[in-house]
Amino acid sequence: MKLILASLIASAAAFAPSQVAQTSTALSASLDGLPGALAPAGVFDPLGLAEKATDATLARYREAELAHGRVAMLAVIGFLVGEKVEGSSFLFDAQISGPAITHITQVPDGFWPVIIAFVGAYEAQRAETGWVDPADCPVDQPGMLKSDYAPGDLKFDPFGLMPEDAEEFEIMQTKELQNGRLAMLAAAGFLAQEAVDGKGIIEHFTASA
């Protein structure tokens, strides 16, 4: 069930791109001043990855962080919604039930080809929008982003949620990054918990209430 939800609203997570007014050249070896760093912790880079990275590499890091964060936010919602409505057929004739990690095996034939086609089209559009053509990309820098491409900016804002004020926009950027980071931890926790005891997350919530 969570995959159904994700397939329907995946692109909606792109409403708050990482940078619009600034290009990837704004991603310097120092992360100070970039969205995502909050007081009092500030920049969290214990392995010193930023110090070892070029601007182009940092841009790829930020693009990857945003992409994973957005998927994780959808996954967390999918876990909770999928288990809450379990037992219903919803768009399918099959009855889907049990922990969310088991739903992946319960979808009917034809579901995965649709998902693969959707994700493939989405990723192809992202690559065309932001990635340097592989033929022009240095061998030691695969996946290089275009100089005028802002990491995470998929030009998708159907509800006009992106603020025009630069300060408000930076606040939104930081919120998206922080929520994405939390969601990545939450999704990993959900997966581990269900894999360990075979119980759904909703079941855990209701048992502890």
Nearest to 31 by CA among 16, 46, 14: 46
How far apart CA 179 and CA 182 sit, in angstroms, is: 5
Please, which residues bridge with residue 38 across strands?
A: 42
CB atoms near residue 130 (< 10 Å): 21
Instruction: Point out the annotated binding site for chlorophyll b.
Output: 70, 176
Binding residues for chlorophyll a: 65, 68, 175, 179, 181, 193
Torsional sign, CA 11, 16, 17, 18? negative
Strand partners, 131: 145
Q: Write out the binding residues.
A: 65, 68, 70, 175-176, 179, 181, 193
- Output the CA angle 96-98-102, nearest 5 degrees: 80
